[in-house]
Structure 1
Amino acid sequence: MLDTNVIVSGLLWGGLPSLVFQAARDELFVAILTESLLSETINVLARDKFAEQLAARQINLESLAMQYRAAAEIVEPAEVPTGIVRDPKDVMILACAVGGKADFIVSGDKDLLTLVSYEQIPILTAEQFLDRLSNP
């Protein structure tokens, strides 16, 4: 399961998050997502500060939403207690991962990464995930 920050970074700035996003597109793993996370991703990308990057890459948000929904498995989020992480929005990530029985959470969020795992689901950086993907 990909955290919103990995998707945004991968789409707009490249680097390792871009390779993770491309691996999902290439169906090297099954990306999971909830409707609320899809909405959050689109809302984040719609911020004014990203307009120039989106235009430069000719990314249409409506098209992106349809492609992302088609490429990912939509799951029902699990109930996750609040207070586990500092940022309440991170609870959505954990709820998606547990609800979708994710093998990994890929994130660049320091609060999530400090958990190391949640409900026996490892929380990895893009680099750690790509390493595991290429060396199963």
Structure 2
Amino acid sequence: MDTNLWISYLISSRLLAIDRLLEEKKIVLLFSPESLQEFIEVVRRPKFEKFFSEEDVKELLILFDHFGELVKVESEVEVCRDPNDNFLLSLAKDGQADFLITGDKDLLVIQEFEGTRIVTFKEFEEEIKD
């Protein structure tokens, strides 16, 4: 999942289904040092202070640690029309992800990359229902 979805997870209850999926071991979270760094930089932005606490962020980082897998990213990918998002494609490739869950239109337009389907969270929920 990309950083914007994790921010949505912290702000609203819309993505709380992630907790259930993790506990049922239906999903594994993939991270790289770059994706974790981006997340930490974004949650520290002053505009988010009123939406969630530092404790909320710490709890989410514990969730990452418990249910996540740190991937050593070695691939250099230049596919996305927004070059800043290429690191997510590299992570998906090197982590052999089945899905990259995002709301980012620059990624969604790709649809599939190196065996990874690029979908919204809603599309992902529909996919795993079956």
Shorter chain as denominator, the TM-score bin is 0.7 to 0.9
Deviations 1:26-64 (A, max 9, x none): 532111111211111111111111111113x951x3443
Q: TM-score, normalised by structure 1?
A: 0.84
Determine helix, strand or coil for the equivalent of 2:61. helix
Paired residue for 1:9?
Answer: 8
Distance 1:120 1:54 in 2: 35
Q: TM-score, normalised by structure 2?
A: 0.87
Deviations 1:96-116 (A, max 9, x none): 100100011110000000001
> Equivalences for 1:61-80 in 2 at 5 Å?
61-80=57-76
Instruction: Label 1:107 to 1:47 Cα distance change in 2 as closer, same or farther (>3 A).
Output: same
In the comparison of the two structures, how many residue pairs are matched? 130
Output the aligned Cα RMSD: 2.0
User: Does the CA contact (< 8 Å) of 1:10 and 1:21 recur in 2?
Assistant: no
Letter of the aligned partner of 1:13 in structure 2?
S
Instruction: Label 1:25 to 1:44 Cα distance change in 2 as closer, same or farther (>3 A).
Output: farther
Deviations 1:57-80 (A, max 9, x none): 951x34432431232011111413
Higher mean displacement: 111-120 or 70-79: 70-79
Paired residue for 2:18?
Answer: 20
Determine helix, strand or coil for the equivalent of 2:118. strand
Deviations 1:76-104 (A, max 9, x none): 1141332x212222111101100100011
Letter of the aligned partner of 2:127 in structure 1?
R
**CA displacement at 1:12 relative to structure 2:** 1.1
Higher mean displacement: 73-82 or 122-131: 73-82
The percent of aligned pairs where both chains have the same amino acid is 28
Letter of the aligned partner of 1:67 in structure 2?
L
Unmatched tracts of structure 1, length 5 or more: none
Paired residue for 1:100?
Answer: 95
Unmatched tracts of structure 2, length 5 or more: none
